């Protein structure tokens, strides 16, 4: 969906340049230059955009649910680790960028969904994603959100990133997380409490062409991901009037479960041992969250998370 909207925005920008509206394109480029740092400074959310009726239908299509397991003190800042990435990241977008669910369950907290900085270089599209509450996933952006005095901010980071989307097969429980410790360091530097979040059903929305590690397709995808900064999973699902093939995601329920916070004391210069220790605790709490709720959402008893 994001790719399609981004392509439309690029097409509209090219139309302005090639048509008789080139002066509008020049004015927008000037605006882009002046506004370049906004995605790293909290963005520019619009409650009007976040409340569009279309998002209600978007959430009800699957449907998407947000489940609370513990209170989050609005006087504290939080870093929410979202898992898994999936293909669409529908649970993260539906719960943290649209509708009143998060606000109702966690009053006093403002969620910021961090996405790849490359998206904010796309004309017009950047305005759209910022209005929904999305900001850059750069260190500067995360620091800006977590530096809020008095608390009340929640950084939502999809920990597995684009690389994990290549594992987004139905039934897959593999998370790219063992080498991802930057979010742990950020939490320590800002004293932001860590909260594991697992979105059951995220990997069931699409079928992906088989790409086991070591295959030629996976090798090409990984090389392209390193070059471009985002992955290109070859996926398909259903059509509008038939269920055999198309790009519309399957109607599979998504239950995004927000775990209990892990208290973190501020440490401006954490050692590697301190980072590793908190990372291990986070993995333990994430696995515990999954095990406690998997029976409720159709995961067989014998299946567990796989950390890579």
Q: What DSSP assignment string belongs to 114-173?
A: EE-GGGGGSTTHHHHHHHTTEEE-SHHHHHHHHT-TT--EEEEEETTHHHHGGG--TT--
For 201, what's the count of Cα atoms within 13 Å in the CB-facing half-sphere? 22
pLDDT, tens only, 118-136: 889 888 889 999 999 999 9
> How many CB atoms lie under 10 A from the CB of residue 75?
9
pLDDT at 24 over 70: yes
- Report the pLDDT averaged over residues 83-105: 95
pTM of the model: 0.93
Mean pLDDT of the chain: 93
What percentage of the chain exceeds 90 in pLDDT? Answer: 77
> In whole angstroms, what is the distance from residue 129 CA to residue 96 CA?
12
Instruction: For residue 100, give the DSSP letter.
Output: S
> In whole angstroms, what is the distance from residue 235 CA to residue 225 CA?
16
pLDDT at 299 over 60: yes
Higher pLDDT, 192 or 238: 192
Of 88-97, 102-111, 184-193, 216-225, give the lowest mean pLDDT range: 216-225
Helices 272-293 and 182-190, interaxial angle, to 10°? 110
Q: How confident is the model at residue 9 (pLDDT cuts 50, 70, 90)?
A: confident
Give me the pLDDT at residue 232, please: 82
Topology of domain 40-307 in CATH is Glycerol-3-phosphate (1)-acyltransferase (3.40.1130)
Residues 6+ positions from 245 with CB-CB distance below 8 Å? 236, 238, 239
**What are the extents of the domains in the chain?**
1-35, 40-307
pLDDT, tens only, 36-89: 999 999 999 999 999 999 999 999 999 999 999 999 999 999 999 999 999 989
pLDDT, tens only, 203-256: 999 999 999 999 999 999 888 888 777 778 888 899 888 888 888 999 999 999
> In whole angstroms, what is the distance from residue 199 CA to residue 107 CA?
21
pLDDT at 275 over 80: yes
Give me the pLDDT at residue 131, please: 96
Closest CA to 111 of 140, 86, 82, 149: 82
- Report the pLDDT averaged over residues 8-13: 74
Give me the pLDDT at residue 229, please: 73
């Amino acid at each position: 969906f994001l790719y399609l909207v981004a392509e439309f925005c690029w097409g509209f920008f090219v139309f302005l340049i090639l048509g008789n509206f080139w002066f509008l394109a020049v004015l927008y480029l000037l605006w882009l230059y002046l506004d370049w740092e906004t995605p790293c400074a909290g963005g520019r959310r619009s409650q009007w955009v976040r409340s569009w009726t279309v998002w209600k239908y978007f959430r009800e299509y699957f449907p998407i649910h947000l489940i609370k397991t513990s209170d989050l003190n609005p006087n504290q800042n939080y870093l929410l680790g979202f898992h898994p990435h999936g293909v669409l990241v529908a649970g993260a977008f539906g719960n943290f960028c649209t509708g009143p669910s998060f606000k109702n369950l966690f009053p006093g907290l403002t969620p910021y969904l961090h996405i790849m900085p490359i998206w904010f270089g796309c004309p017009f599209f950047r305005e759209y994603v910022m209005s929904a509450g999305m900001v850059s996933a750069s260190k500067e952006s995360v620091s800006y959100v977590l530096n809020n005095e008095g608390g009340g901010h929640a950084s939502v980071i999809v920990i597995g990133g684009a690389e994990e989307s290549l594992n987004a097969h139905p039934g897959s429980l593999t998370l790219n997380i063992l080498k991802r410790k930057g979010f742990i360091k950020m939490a320590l530097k800002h004293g932001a409490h860590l909260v594991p979040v697992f979105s059951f059903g995220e990997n069931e929305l699409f079928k992906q062409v088989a790409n086991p590690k070591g295959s030629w397709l996976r090798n090409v995808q990984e090389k392209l991901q390193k070059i471009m900064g985002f992955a290109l999973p070859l996926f398909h699902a259903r059509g509008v009037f038939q269920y055999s093939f198309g790009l519309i995601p399957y109607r599979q329920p998504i239950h995004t479960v927000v775990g209990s916070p892990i208290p973190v004391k501020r440490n401006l210069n954490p050692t590697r041992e301190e980072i590793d220790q908190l990372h291990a605790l986070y993995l333990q709490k994430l696995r515990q969250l999954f095990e406690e709720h998997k029976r409720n959402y159709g995961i067989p008893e014998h299946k567990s998370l796989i950390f890579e």
